[in-house]
Each structure stands twice: as C-alpha cells, then as structure tokens.
Amino acid sequence: MTLRFRAFLVSLCILVVFVAVFTLQWQLQDKRESVAEMRIQELMSQAFSSVVIAAERDALTTVKTLSSTYTDLGTSMGDATIKEGLLDVLGVKHDLDFLYVLTGGGHVIGRFQPDELMTQNSQPLRDLDGVLFNQVAGLRWQTTGVGYWQREPLYLTVEKVGSNDRGVRYFVAGYFLKSLFGELNAIYEFEASLGGVVEAVPPKGNIRAKSELKGLITAPINVWIDDQSSQSYRGVPWVLVSIWSVGVIGALLIWLFVRRSMVDRLRDFVQQAHDIGATQDYGRRVKLQGEDELTDLVSHYNAVVSALEYSYNLMAKANLITTELIGRVGARPDDVAGQVFSPAGIAQDEKDDLRQSLDMVAKLSDVVERDTLDIYYQPVVNAESGDLLGFEALCRWLDPDLGVVEPAEFIALAEKSGQMTVIGKQMVMRACRDIRKLHGKGVSNVTVSVNLSLSQFIDSSLLTWLAEAIKASRLKPEFVELEIKEYALARDIDQACSIIGELSSLGVQICIDDFGLSRLSLMYLQRLSVKKIKLAKTFADRIASNPKEVAFIEGVVRFASGLGVKVVAKGVETEQQLYILKRVPELQCQGYAISRPIPPDELAEWLLINTENGVF
C-alpha cells in the first residue's frame, strides 16, 4: 500500500466526518431561519428601538430646554440658573442618568446624577474626563450617539451654544447604555450587548437580533439582542463531540496500519527538519534513503529551505521595496498595481491592510502639508503650592473619517514617511507663538516644552530650524524646553552629550522624558547638562499601591536638586496621587488630576477660571 493510497484513506475519513458535521449544522440553521424566528428578531429590534427613541427624546428635550435658557438669559444668567437647581428639575423630570453643563475649557458649571446610580456604578460618572470631553468638544453640531467614558458606553445627546467671545457651553445629557439594556431585559426578557463585547454567534438555540446605534465620533455600533426565554438545543454539543470522536478514532486506526518503517522514516525527516529550523542553518539539507512519495516530499522541503536561504540574502532589498511602497502614496492605485514591486500573491486582506496604511500616510501627508494638525497644552504646576510653571505641547490628529488617531500611531507613520522634521518645525513654531501671546497678556515666566523624537534629535538640521523658529516667534529661548526620551539618549550617550551641548548653546532648556526606566538613569543625569527630568508614568501609577514609591521619588528629587535639576512627575491622574505628591518638596506635577490638555484658543479662558477660583 503506497503512501498516496494511505493519504487517500485518511482524507476520505476526514471528508466523511466533515460532511456529517456540515449536514447537521445546515439542518439546524434551516430551523433557526424559519419565518417565525425572523419575525421574532424583527420584534426584538423594534422593542430595543422604542427604548432608545424614548431615551433620545427625553435627552433631546432637556438639551433644547437648556439651550433656550442660555439663548434667552445670556451666559452669566444661564450659569446662575443652572446653579440654582435647574439641572435637578430637568434630570428628574426626564429620568436622566446624567446631565452636565460644561464650559469650552472643560470646566463643569453644573451636574446632575441620581443618588441610586452613584451607588450602583463602581466608578460613578463624577466628572467628564479628558477623553470623553475631547469627543464632546470635537463635535460641530448637536449630536446623539454612543460615546465612552473609562470604557463605559454612554448614550449621549450633546448641544453646543455660544462662541469663544461670549463663552462656549456644552450640554451633555444621556444614559448609561447598560441602563437602557436593563430596561429592555426587565420588560421583554431580552438581553442586549454591544458588538465586539460578546461573540457574534449566539448561544445554542437562543434567538438573536441585531440593531444599530450611531457612534458619537465613530462608525455605527452594533447591538446584539438575545432572547433569554428561547429553548436551547442541549443535545447538539454531544452529537458534535461524538462525530469528532469517531473521526479521531478512525484516523488513529488508519495510522496504526502504517508500517513501522514508514513511521521511522517520517520521524527521521521531522528530526532533521527540526534541527535545521532550530539552528537556522539553512545551508543544510534533509537526507533520506528510499524511493517513494516521502522522498518527493523531502525534495520539496529542501527546495523551500533553499528559497529561505536565498530570501535571507534579499532581506535588505525587501526593506527597500517596502520603503518604495510607502514612498509612492500619492500614486494612482492602477499605476501602483502595475509596478514590479506590487505585492501580487499576498492574501487579499494583506493587500487591504497595506492600502489602508498607505491611505493613512496620504491623509497624514495632506494635513502636514496644510499645517492642520491640532496642538493642545497640558499644564505643569508646583505640586506643593500649585503655581503654574509651564505647559507641554501635545500634537493631536482629529480626522473626519478616522476620528481621533492615537499619537503613537501617526507619529510612527510620520517617522516611516520622513515627515517628523516638518511636524517638529510646525509644533515648535506654533507652541512658541502661543506662549508668546500668553506672555503678552501678563502671564510671564511660563515655559513651553516640545517633544523630540529620535530622528528629530539626531537630525543635522535641528539647530538651524530650531533657532529660526524661536527667532520668528520672538520668544526668549529660556522659555523653550525640549523633551528627549531616555532611550534616545541611551542609544549613543557620547553623541547625546554633544547634541545637548549644542542645543544648550542656543539658550533652550533640555528635559529627559520617561526618566528612571534604565538602570543607568542616574549616570545619564550626572553626564548630561539638562535642567529638568520627567519621571516615567509608572512611578505615579505605583504610588497608591506601594508607599515606598514616594520615598524613592523624594530621593530622586533630592539627588537631582543637588545637581541643579528640577523633577516632574507626569501621569498624575487622580486626586489621591496629587495629594500624596504634595508632600514632596520642589516636585512639579503634570496630569489629568491638574488639567486635561487644552486647545490654544481656550488657554486664556482656562487661566481666567483657575485664577478666579484661587488655583493660581
């Protein structure tokens, strides 16, 4: 009996098993797709839609009432009316889960949330954090849809009134999405869940319907609705297990009929192939005695090893081809597909991923060319006194199609496509100009810090364009601070010392970002002429769980002070972290516990609000 015939028997056995499984699945699917079941699915979707429509109507009525109040009374009188209890009246009347009135700078004028919800939720919606506020502030018209707060889905209705001159106000009303789901379950015994949270395939026998909710700044979001009262097919899993067991046993029985010599030869082949893969010695070849189908398989395997050996020699060329693909973003799709470097032969999904990446690089190139990347500023304050010391400039990209693109994602794309130098020039120029405006309004002695990537740091033209940007903005160099990641310095400490010395000659300040992640951090601090260090966010994260972390931070501050270096603790997210760090003398802090990142046109309002509240 030849190897080919044995393989045919195994294939036939597996085919029989699969035919039986697919036949059973087809029969069950035919039952579930009956006319009665589809009617139930339609009724389930209608029931969920009625709950959502009622909630949306109540929230919309509320924000319209607030908008009319501000339009009729003006900003100041409208704020006074809110503080007199209007939100509680509207919230109770329309049975809302939460109702917020916010300024354009994210300051909460008034809030409403029932006490019972405060106790039901492990993390009550006490405040809109920066992520959710960015979703609200990024909208240009009244919108209703699903947003997220600390991974909690919310069904929001948002309306904006006023202008920057008269004072912007955002009205945010809505419900925790799980409360709408709970209402659906209480009335109809239907259980709803967001798409992606659970498997798209319902439990065996459960009837599932699909509905759709509009995303606040994303694509529509699927909601799955399960009928918990529907009967399940409890016997099906055992049938499937039995079928697969019979298939496995049949395959094992066939294997037992294979001659011992064939088993030994297969084992020898696998062992030699394993040795080649483990040692990555692709110059070797598998050697096997005999003349049969297995010998042909060995020949094919040796051909694959030869191709792999050859591909290792072409890795450098492959990298160049990849760079060429990214560099031809602006080319027409038809033109790109016709080139030699077209990835014909890869899977279709890989082609789509590549095209999506290229399209994103094209979008990024367009916004960089038009200088339309957003810039936000996050304050840095003295932990003990609360005095404002400066701002960190943060680059943001809000695309109409992609939504909010994470900084790490588009910065990586900019690095690959060679656009970081242009982005750096734009960031420094705009940051210096905005801080210069604050100085002109009497907010003096406030610095601005800008992050430099590794490619920007080692760019030979850095000194030239940096000096030109500072000169054009008419901002004194000592108010400009450059942040450099510790890993970029560790790459070549001697080169880093030379570059930092040249930058210091311009009069700018140098800060080591993400300090403390290397075992040689203190050595870098002694060798480099820097004025400030920013501790990695992990230090602030460990404060609550490890009291010794504060003592370590205090020790770093004392050591750095002896060298004339200031220390900043970044990533201070909670009031508890801020309270603990206030006990460390001369420590500076930055994070959401102090303020979210602020757009430039709201800096003046933010400073005015915090000054009036006695913060500064």
- What pairs with residue 191 in β-bridges? 226
Considering the domain boundaries, does residue 305 fall inside one? yes
Going by their DSSP bridges, the two strands 509-515 and 480-485 should be labelled as: parallel
Give the model's pLDDT for residue 489: 83
Instruction: Judge if 304 and 448 occupy the same domain.
Output: no
Which two three-digit tokens encode residue 574?
A: 């909670």
Considering the domain boundaries, does residue 349 fall inside one? no
Instruction: Judge if 398 and 547 occupy the same domain.
Output: yes
DSSP assignments along 169-216, one per residue: EEEEEEEEHHHHHHHHHHHHSEEEEEBTTB-SSPSTT-EEEEEEE-BS
pTM for the whole structure: 0.45
Q: At what angle do helices 420-440 and 603-612 cross, to 10 degrees?
A: 40
The residue count of the chain comes to 616
Choose among 616, 606, 614: nearest CA to 164: 606
Considering the domain boundaries, does residue 180 fall inside one? yes
Give the model's pLDDT for residue 323: 46
Considering the domain boundaries, does residue 375 fall inside one? yes
Considering the domain boundaries, does residue 329 fall inside one? no
Going by their DSSP bridges, the two strands 480-485 and 447-452 should be labelled as: parallel
Among candidate residues 157, 190, 223, the one where a domain is terminated? 190
Distance of alpha carbon 382 from alpha carbon 438, whole angstroms: 19
Instruction: Judge if 418 and 539 occupy the same domain.
Output: yes
Distance of alpha carbon 178 from alpha carbon 609, whole angstroms: 35
The DSSP call for residue 444 is: -
> How many domains does one find in the chain?
3
- Please identify every stretch of the chain with a pLDDT value under 50, giving residue numbers as ranges: 122, 197-198, 232-236, 312-321, 323-324, 328-347
Instruction: Judge if 555 and 437 occupy the same domain.
Output: yes
Distance of alpha carbon 580 from alpha carbon 544, whole angstroms: 9
Residue 84 maps to which CATH number?
Answer: 3.30.450
Specify the DSSP element, H or E, that contains 481. strand 480-485
Give the model's pLDDT for residue 36: 67
Q: Could you tell me where the DSSP H helices lie in 398-461?
A: 407-416, 420-440, 454-457
Which two three-digit tokens encode residue 448?
A: 């601005």
Please report, as a single letter, which amino acid is at residue 315: M
CB-based contacts of 399, cutoff 8 Å, min separation 6: 363, 367, 405
Range of the domain at 452: 371-607
508 torsion bin: left (phi>0), alpha (psi -120 to 50), beta (else): beta
Give the model's pLDDT for residue 346: 45
- HSE at residue 443, side-chain half, CA atoms within 13 A, is 23
pLDDT tens-digit readout, 17-58: 766 766 766 666 556 556 667 777 788 788 888 888 888 899
pLDDT tens-digit readout, 115-128: 766 555 545 555 55
Give the model's pLDDT for residue 251: 58
Give the model's pLDDT for residue 533: 92
Residue 477 dihedral angles phi and psi, to the nearest 5°: -60, -30
Residue 472 maps to which CATH number?
Answer: 3.20.20.450
DSSP assignments along 155-173, one per residue: EEEEEEES-TTT--EEEEE
Instruction: Judge if 307 and 388 occupy the same domain.
Output: no
The DSSP call for residue 336 is: H
Is the separation of the CB atoms in 484 and 452 below 8 Å? yes
Q: Could you tell me where the DSSP H helices lie in 280-347?
A: 293-313, 315-327, 333-337
Instruction: Judge if 435 and 515 occupy the same domain.
Output: yes
